[in-house]
Amino acid sequence: MTDESKQSGTLDDDAESFNDRLSEIRDEDDNESETEYGILSEEYDSVNKDNKDSIDAWLVVSLTGVVFGLIGAVASPENAIFAFFAVGAIAASIVWLYTTPRGEQFREEIAEQQQQDATSTDSTEAKQVCPNCGWQNPARNNYCYDCGKKIG
């Protein structure tokens, strides 16, 4: 065998092993890409669903505001513009509280704050009764919370 044929055989073997290794790497990349694509696809679907839910909720809120605003305007033609905005805003606010994720979060925050307020009041504090209206005031008050008259 000549040196050229030995070299050619070695080059062919090297090229074949190179191509095999390249195929392995491509297969690994394809598997990783499929996994990454699957994860990214799930994240995209999740975000897309959240956005769609949010858009749907805001569409409902907006339509509620318009419909109830029109009802308010028809019910009070002398103040139609005021009635449209006032009634529409009130109705849309109520719907917002119960249909949007942010509205739900807001309701939870308000409930938590009310719970904290209820537990923070000191029921052992001495009270004094207003002689004018009968309101129970903290002993430290000089004036009644209810009627404003001087106590004691």
CA-to-CA dists, residue 79 to 69, 73, 76, 84, 87, angstroms: 12, 7, 6, 8, 11
Residue 3, in any domain of the structure: no
My answer on whether 74 and 126 are in the same domain is no
pTM: 0.45
My answer on whether 110 and 138 are in the same domain is no
pLDDT tens digits, one per residue of 8-51: 556 667 667 777 777 777 766 555 555 555 666 666 666 566 66
Task: Give 36: exposed, middle or buried? Use CB within 10 Å, 0-12, 13-18, 19+.
Answer: exposed
Residue 4, in any domain of the structure: no
pLDDT for 82 equals 93
Q: What does the pLDDT average to over 91-98?
A: 91
For 43, the domain range is 11-121
Task: Determine the Cα angle at 120 with ends 114 and 125, to 5°.
Answer: 135
pLDDT exceeds 90 at position 139: no
My answer on whether 51 and 106 are in the same domain is yes
- For residue 24, the one-letter residue type is E
